[in-house]
Chains A and B, each alone.
Chain A
Amino acid sequence: MPAFKAPAPGFSVRFSPFHENRLLAATSQHFGLVGNGHLLVLDLSAAGPGGPGLAPLFSFPTSDALFDCAWSESHDSLCAAASGDGSVRLFDVTLPPEQNPVRLLREHAREVHGIDWNPVRRDAFLSASWDDTLKLWSPDRPASVRTFRGHEYCVYAAAWSARHPDVFASASGDRTARVWDVREPAPTLVIPAHDHEVLSLDWDKYDPSILATGSVDKSIRVWDVRSPRAPLAQLAGHGYAVKRVKFSPHHQGMIMSCSYDMTVCMWDYRKEDALLARYGHHTEFVAGIDMSVLTDGLLASTGWDEMIYVWPFGSDPRAV
């Protein structure tokens, strides 16, 4: 599996839920502060062993930084990107760049930092923005379906439950994680999760009540929404803020995380010795990680060193 040199610092990677060799990446010039963004689609099968000369299948430049991206779960060529100018863009990778984005959704007042596609009902996605709100979108509608208000600070990430089509959770700089039901006007649960900003969260795919949050306080905490007073587990080991956490789609309890300490870590929160592996292959902040839904154990990461690595769990990302 290859390493890929991106044109700019990477912010997010996502494996396609349709094609096991397809990878979506969001990158931004100048670390997202100013400049353009690039949405890339990589074909992993086209790469020779260890060849960094992999060319992207598609590359869509955007006028503003891209902070996150997500594949559509309903259509194999559709993907969404969260932009620094507050817009959400939908791209169809089968169309030439001139006809993209196929949809420009401009409702958020500030940067959109997180995006997630509903994996159960597959007809809607969420955007999390620094204007303290989340918005629910449907790709067949020109405007948002709903706005979720309640957070008191930037919302950094949103994650749909993997098992319930109406439930999702959000992570915010107001130090809380909130659980929402799209049918309820207010959050159904507010977890004062950390002492610092919560940057990311994800649901356990096998246990619909389990949630993991990653925070600026360097820790990952695992929560049970039925008893949110105390975390089930706290995973310490990162030296700086935890940028993203992700539950494995294949193994219950397995968590992947990346951090500003430039490492990617694998955990099993149910084990005594929770840290399974630590990868220090990036030379700058690691900003995006993903685990393939279609290939068991295939991992991807990207960071501000403009590299995108794809490697199987248990091997060295730089060796493959």
Chain B
Amino acid sequence: MAGAPPKPWERAGAEGTSGPAPFKPPSGGSTSDVVEASGTAKPGETIAATTANVSNPVSRTMPQRPWQQQTGYGNSYGGAGYGSNMYSSLGGYGNTYGSGGMYGNSMYSSYGGGGGLYGGSGMYGGGMYNSGMGGSYGGYGMGGMGGMGGMGGMGGMGGMGPYGNPDPNSFGPPAAPPGFWVSFLRVMHGAVSFFGRVAFLVEQNTQAFYLFITAMLQLFDRSGMLYGELARFVLRLLGVRTKSKKGRVQGPEAPAFEGPGQQFLEAPKGNNSWDSVWGN
């Protein structure tokens, strides 16, 4: 182990022209011994967070890692997006559509200006229970269109990392046309983001369809109840005393009109009957 010939700067022997360097003087012995003597050998995780000696801590945000790179829409698949909220909110419709703002908001934020693909908050909440069917589907349609508009706007290319972005605002002469690999990678990037967008749209349409069908079923359910309720109310006004048999569903086929003069058997009122709501 002879060692390489002396370096030119060692032969010169001169200390730097701008004075001594601000380092601790060198230690003697081999590098391995020096490291072990300092107690820093194999520090592992115990020392990973040490920043005490750092004189210029970095406060800027770090660029995304290559294996984490996504172009915006990717994030909306995450648990923080509609994924968790939407499904959980469908559990009970009492809560769901009243608080539609929940998934509306999360869609919006994760999509980065996409505008809440389904029209965002309150579309089922306000529409369904307050102003009825027309309002609710109006809101739905408009929201969807807004979302599509936002979609077209995105798709900015991610930074090309080591290949450098030809930034027109930078110094220097105008950038040369990109080489073959740069343009090839850009094309590949475009293709990947295109398929990503298509997948996103397919998923969103599935979601929309699901919500739509669920809302329709609930509408039918509720409208049937409303019909029965109204029928009973009108009958009550007409002086007809109706009494549903216990456990029987009041639906459109309920025997509401069987002649005003017809008498029904009086049954004791159930304590859970709706009849007691309006008094007598």
Chain A residues proximal to chain B, CB less than 8 Å: 17-18, 31, 73-76, 118-124, 136, 138, 141, 144-147, 149-150, 152-154, 161-167, 173-176, 181-192, 197, 199, 204-210, 216-219, 224-226, 228, 236-241, 243, 249-250, 252, 260-262, 284-285, 293-294, 296, 304
Contacts and interface: CB of A to CB of B under 8 A. Distances in A.
Contacts of A182: 31, 34-35, 38, 40
A249 B9 contact: yes
A241 B164 contact: yes
A190 B54 contact: yes
B53 A260 contact: no
A281 B44 CA distance: 45
Contact of A249 (B8, B21, B22, B52): B8
Interface of B is mostly: loop
Bin chain B's interface residue count.
35 or more
Contacts of B47: 149, 185-186
Interface string B37-53: 11011111001101111
A190 B31 contact: no
A54 B139 CA distance: 74
B17 A123 contact: no
5 pairs of A and B residues whose beta carbons are closest in the complex: A207-B16, A183-B38, A124-B31, A17-B4, A208-B21
A50 B8 CA distance: 29
B173 interface: yes
A175 B32 contact: no
A250 B8 contact: yes
29 contacts: A17-B5, A74-B1, A75-B2, A123-B31, A124-B30, A124-B31, A136-B35, A145-B32, A145-B41, A147-B43, A147-B44, A150-B54, A152-B62, A161-B21, A164-B21, A164-B26, A166-B27, A174-B62, A181-B23, A182-B35, A183-B37, A184-B38, A187-B54, A190-B58, A206-B16, A216-B161, A219-B171, A236-B171, A241-B162
B24 interface: yes
Contacts of B43: 146-147, 149, 185
B7 interface: yes
A209 B21 contact: yes
B4 A73 contact: yes
A176 B37 CA distance: 28
A145 B5 CA distance: 26
Nearest to A143: B42
Contact of B17 (A199, A252, A285): A252
